[in-house]
Structure 1
Amino acid sequence: MIGNPFHVLATINSTNNYAMGQVNAGPVADGSTWFAMEQTAGKGQRGKQWLSEPGENIMLTTVLQPALTLNQQFMLSVAVSLGAYDFFSKYAGEETRIKWSNDIYWRDRKAGGILIENVLRGNIWQYAIAGLGININTPKFPEHLANPVSLRQITGKTWDSLELAYDLCRCLEERYSRLHPAVFDTWLAEYKEHLYRLHEPALYKINGEIFQGTIHDVLPDGRLCLEKGKEILELGFGEVEFIFAT
């Protein structure tokens, strides 16, 4: 089960780095999870740093051994994204969304992110190191951050981040325990049902060019189908940037 065992770390540079070290040191049980009260060098997508005040938010990593092949990686990403969506929408409500490929949004603001790193042994997908950072109790974010939001800002309540971390693990486990290629079409449809900006014209940037485009679909391999003018672009991770109004 995800969260069994569940380790609480007082201070660590990055839960993903720590979990990776555990995997490199020897076998790790599927679902082993590390929660940090404080991260000094939290990792986000594309090398971005993710920081938080001690005890304020959810910063955890779970080690998974999915019974999938490497060309089925997006299935795991969808399962983890839906688990995080299930968790956050329970507290923040129906305005919760999944931003491609696996950020958690509330309205036009980022509530959390997911970073999945893979450990391979030859062609075998041995482990997936899934890190999740969810904004829970931050009352105010630095002005240089574009569009963050916390559960406290949404609800006006202060939460126990550790107790919510246990609940997040339960939501992830509910999805992960049923992860199988047979359910993927259904889950991909559900993922798209909750997709941020689906069929809504908005601004994007590719290779320095900002333009108005519309998301039409997400393909089974994870590529984003974005309409630009009269063409449909099929984009991989990191190939497009979402632009937000200031």
Structure 2
Amino acid sequence: MIGHPLYILDEVGSTNNYAMEQVNTGKVTSGTAWFTSNQTAGKGTRGKTWIAQPGDISALSIALQPSMLPLSRQFMLSVAVALGAADCFISLAGDETVIKWPNDIYWRDRKAGGILIENVLRGSIWQYAIIGIGFNVNQPAFPPELPNAVSLLQITGKRREAIEVAKVLCASLENRIKQIHPSNYEAMLKEYTSRLFRWQQPALYKKDGETFRGTIRDVLPDGHLCLEKESGEMLKLGFGEVEFVLGSQNH
């Protein structure tokens, strides 16, 4: 069960780092989760840090033994986690919630949360996945360097206890991870792509210094994004290979 047990940390640098340390002791059971609303050095994708005031965020990391998936299908775990996180946020903020490829949670065109999955391998054996999910919960505003961030408080006008958000998230993740099975791969990937930010909508992107207009057409089973340029050229892009041009620049 996801979130059984659930440990509440008063303060921690990064819940993902803490979870990794606990997994390395060899004494952790699959589904164990660690939560804090006071993360002092949160981790994002590609080494970005993520910092907030105490009580403003819900930071949750889960240790999962991914016995339901071969390593070659690891993107399906990202799909399940993104769908679970989106399900949770929809229940709190409404159905304008979308998934920004590969695994950010957006409300309209603003970032409400992020996901970071780190794998523990022993040789070619996928021993554990450390699933980190952070939501913006109670921030009344964001600094200028975060122009496209948004919190649940800003969306709904209501403050929430961050731990309660984490508990809803655990239940949503449990539901989605249970669905991981070869017979469901195609349907889960189809649902994931249909819920993507900018799905089938022309918009601006940047790659290798070039800004261009393109349209998301598909996501492949290995996670590659298929982006069609206005010229008709189809790009097959891996994580970190393309930048979404956001906000007022996207015209």
Please indicate, yes or no, whether the TM-score normalized by the shorter chain is above 0.5.
Answer: yes
Measure, in 2, the Cα distance between the counterparts of 1:158 and 1:37: 13
Corresponding residue for residue 135 of structure 1: 136
Corresponding residue for residue 23 of structure 1: 23
Within 5 Å, which residues of 2 pair with 1:50-69?
A: 50-67=50-67, 68-69=69-70
Corresponding residue for residue 173 of structure 1: 174
Within 5 Å, which residues of 2 pair with 1:2-17?
A: 2-17=2-17
Instruction: Give SS of 2:143's match.
Output: coil
Q: Give 1:159 deviation, angstroms.
A: 0.9
Measure, in 2, the Cα distance between the counterparts of 1:75 and 1:217: 15
Measure, in 2, the Cα distance between the counterparts of 1:13 and 1:158: 24
Corresponding residue for residue 200 of structure 2: 199
Q: Give 1:87 deviation, angstroms.
A: 0.3
Corresponding residue for residue 37 of structure 2: 37
Instruction: Give SS of 1:30's match.
Output: coil
Q: Give 1:165 deviation, angstroms.
A: 0.8
Q: Give 1:74 deviation, angstroms.
A: 0.6
Instruction: Give SS of 1:111's match.
Output: strand
Corresponding residue for residue 48 of structure 1: 48
Within 5 Å, which residues of 2 pair with 1:72-151?
A: 72-151=73-152
Are 1:235 and 2:219 matched, yes or no?
A: no
Q: Is the 8 A contact 2:148 2:247 kept in 1?
A: no
Equivalent position amino acid for 1:15 in 2: T
Measure, in 1, the Cα distance between the counterparts of 2:218 and 2:225: 6
Measure, in 2, the Cα distance between the counterparts of 1:99 and 1:40: 25
Within 5 Å, which residues of 2 pair with 1:152-167?
A: 152-167=153-168
Equivalent position amino acid for 1:63 in 2: A
Measure, in 2, the Cα distance between the counterparts of 1:163 and 1:60: 11
Measure, in 1, the Cα distance between the counterparts of 2:147 and 2:121: 35
Measure, in 2, the Cα distance between the counterparts of 1:155 and 1:21: 36
Equivalent position amino acid for 1:244 in 2: L
Q: Give 1:141 deviation, angstroms.
A: 0.6
Q: Give 1:27 deviation, angstroms.
A: 3.5
Count of matched residue positions in the alignment of Structure 1 and Structure 2: 246
Task: Name the % identity.
Answer: 60
Q: Give 1:146 deviation, angstroms.
A: 3.0
Instruction: Give SS of 2:49's match.
Output: coil
Q: Give 1:177 deviation, angstroms.
A: 2.0
Task: Return the TM-score normalized by structure 2.
Answer: 0.96
**What's the C-alpha RMSD, in Å, of the aligned pairs?**
0.9
Q: Give 1:38 deviation, angstroms.
A: 1.0
Q: Is the 8 A contact 2:109 2:247 kept in 1?
A: no
Instruction: Give SS of 2:46's match.
Output: helix
Instruction: Give SS of 2:77's match.
Output: helix
1:183-214 deviation per Cα after TM superposition (whole angstroms, max 9, x unaligned): 11111111112111011111111111111111
Measure, in 2, the Cα distance between the counterparts of 1:40 and 1:172: 25
Equivalent position amino acid for 1:224 in 2: L
- Structure 2 regions of 5+ residues with no counterpart? none
Measure, in 2, the Cα distance between the counterparts of 1:96 and 1:167: 16
- Structure 1 regions of 5+ residues with no counterpart? none
Q: Give 1:7 deviation, angstroms.
A: 0.2
Measure, in 1, the Cα distance between the counterparts of 2:213 and 2:139: 32
Structure 1 segments of 4+ aligned residues over 4 angstroms from their partners: none
Task: Return the TM-score normalized by structure 1.
Answer: 0.98
1:61-81 deviation per Cα after TM superposition (whole angstroms, max 9, x unaligned): 001111211111110000000
